[in-house]
Amino acid sequence: MSENELIGRVIDGDESAFRRLVEDYQDMVIRTCNGFVHDREDAHDLAQDVFVEVLESIHKFRRESKLSTWLYRVAVNKSLNFVSRQKRKQWISNLENALGGKGYDIIDKSGDSDKEMINNERSRILRQAIESLPQNQKIAFTLNKYEELSYKEIAEVMNVSLSSVESLIHRAKMGLQKKLVHYYKK
Amino acid sequence: MKCREVHNKIYFFIDNDLAEEEASHIREHIGQCDSCRHLYEEMMATVSVIEREKQVEINPFFYTRLQQHIQNNEPVYVRKPSLIRSLQWIPAALVIIGLVIGIILGNAYYKSWTYADTSDRSENIQSLKETYFIGEQETESLAYSFYNFENNEE
């Protein structure tokens, strides 16, 4: 079944076609969301929202780009919205803790092995460094590194030129390098 | 090659983005400099987290969950504002209101002290002096003390 045929059948309300679409693209969408939110469960929940949106608005899809490009756009937008909501929640929670004098929660990591703790710490450092990048750099870097998209594919998803993607990724690497060197040379 | 140059290129070295000649200079420096080698190892381990995080285990029941989700017709993260969610701003609002009231009251008190009627003020100062400054220069100036001393001498 061609992509156009699949889209047509989904628009016509064919459930088996929608199932096929989900099964074809679920890995890609979940991986993309995970690249931004860094949490498997959240990535699955966000992917559900992506496919619900696909179902609701596929009739508006003009088929000027590939279906995967459109799916990437929806997944990136939903993930970025989720991350900014999480940041707001974190800010409120920190404020409540500060006002209530509860302080920070102490996570019991006694069950974790040393290696796991070090890996978690490295993951946290990297996530913070990526999170601190400007939004377009973060999108380009994440699609390139987590989803292994080529610069050309990223340009299509972000609707920018190839040279812009090159520049965004170069600056993202410079930014990460600066943050990580600063952290490890402290 | 200096350490600083290595710091400016280490990520690109790890990412295999450098020309072979430049990469070999960095390799050589890392072989000789303990500090840069340590930095390289830490950064290498941190960047490799991406490779690990890329491997997401997909829930085999994803489509079944999605079907339920569509039937329930509830977006996962777009929830209607509940009473509890709207109450979460109250502590922050209370602090801001408290600060504003404090500033207003403090200002009003300061003004009442500064611009109070001068006769009341002098009475207040006099009573304070009587209470706290008896025998000190606030009430007995130096000249007055000398005057008393001379009179006593006589």
* CA nearest to B50, candidates B11, B22, B83, B89: B11
Residues A77 and A93 in one domain: yes
Residues A99 and A153 in one domain: no
Residues A157 and A84 in one domain: no
Cβ neighbours of B52 in A, within 8 Å: 119
d(CA A180, CA A170): 15
Q: Which residue, among A52, A97, A166, would best test binding to B if mutated, counting the most B CBs under 10 Å from its CB?
A: A52
* CA nearest to A48, candidates B45, B19, B64: B64
B81 dihedral zone (left: phi>0; alpha: psi -120 to 50; beta): beta
Residues A99 and A125 in one domain: no
* Structure confidence by residue, pLDDT tens digits, B63-103: 999 999 888 875 544 444 445 555 667 778 888 999 999 99
Q: Do A44 and B47 touch (CB under 8 A)?
A: no
Q: Does A174 touch chain B (CB under 8 A)?
A: yes
Residues A15 and A91 in one domain: yes
Q: Does A45 touch chain B (CB under 8 A)?
A: yes
Question: CB neighbours (10 Å) of residue A2?
Answer: 7
Which residues have CB under 8 Å from B46's CB, separation 6+? A122, A125, A126, A180
Give the mean model confidence (pLDDT) for residues A100-107: 52
The domain that contains A58 carries what CATH number?
1.10.1740.10
Residues A67 and A86 in one domain: yes
Note down the domain range covering A178.
Answer: 110-186
Q: Among A2-16, A56-70, A87-101, A123-137, where is mean pLDDT lowest?
A: A87-101
Q: Are A78 and A46 in contact (CB under 8 A)?
A: yes
3-state helix, strand, coil in chain B (%, to 5): 70, 0, 30
* CA nearest to B58, candidates A33, A87, A180, A94: A33
Residues A69 and A129 in one domain: no
- Could you tell me the pLDDT band of residue A104, with boundaries at 50, 70 and 90? very low
Residues A96 and A115 in one domain: no
Which residues have CB under 8 Å from A83's CB, separation 6+? A36, A37, A131
Mean pLDDT over all residues of chain B? 76
Cβ neighbours of A30 in B, within 8 Å: 56, 58, 62
Residues A11 and A85 in one domain: yes
Domain total for chain A? Answer: 2
Q: Do A22 and B62 touch (CB under 8 A)?
A: yes
Angstrom distances, CA of residue A146 to CA of A175, B35, B56? 17, 30, 10
The nearest CA of chain A is from the CA of B88 a distance in Å of 8
The domain that contains A186 carries what CATH number?
1.10.10.10
Residues A52 and A143 in one domain: no
Q: Do B50 and A26 touch (CB under 8 A)?
A: no
A51 or A116, greater pLDDT: A51
The yes-or-no verdict on residue B154 having pLDDT over 50 is: no
Q: Are A113 and A85 in contact (CB under 8 A)?
A: no
Task: Convert A140-174 to b/e letters by CB count within 10 Å (16 or more is b).
Answer: bbbbbbbbebebebbbbbbebeeebbeebbebbbe
Token pair, residue B149, equals 């001393």
- Could you tell me the pLDDT band of residue B150, with boundaries at 50, 70 and 90? low
Which of A105, A135, A152 is at the close of a domain?
Answer: A105
* DSSP annotation of A134: -
Cβ neighbours of A40 in B, within 8 Å: 56-57
Q: Are A144 and A151 in contact (CB under 8 A)?
A: yes
φ, ψ of residue B54 to 5 degrees: the values are: -65, -25
State the complex-level ipTM.
Answer: 0.80
Token pair, residue B116, equals 């109070």
B45 or B113, greater pLDDT: B45
- Cα radius of gyration rounded to whole Å, chain A: 19
Residues A70 and A129 in one domain: no
Residues A6 and A96 in one domain: yes
d(CA B46, CA A179): 12
* Structure confidence by residue, pLDDT tens digits, A20-40: 999 999 999 999 999 999 999
Which of A71, A105, A139 is at the close of a domain?
Answer: A105
Q: Does B51 touch chain A (CB under 8 A)?
A: no
Q: Do B69 and A19 touch (CB under 8 A)?
A: no
Which of A105, A134, A164 is at the close of a domain?
Answer: A105
* Structure confidence by residue, pLDDT tens digits, A45-70: 999 999 999 999 998 888 888 999 99
The helix/strand/coil state of A72 is: helix
Question: CB neighbours (10 Å) of residue B2?
Answer: 10
The helix/strand/coil state of A73 is: helix
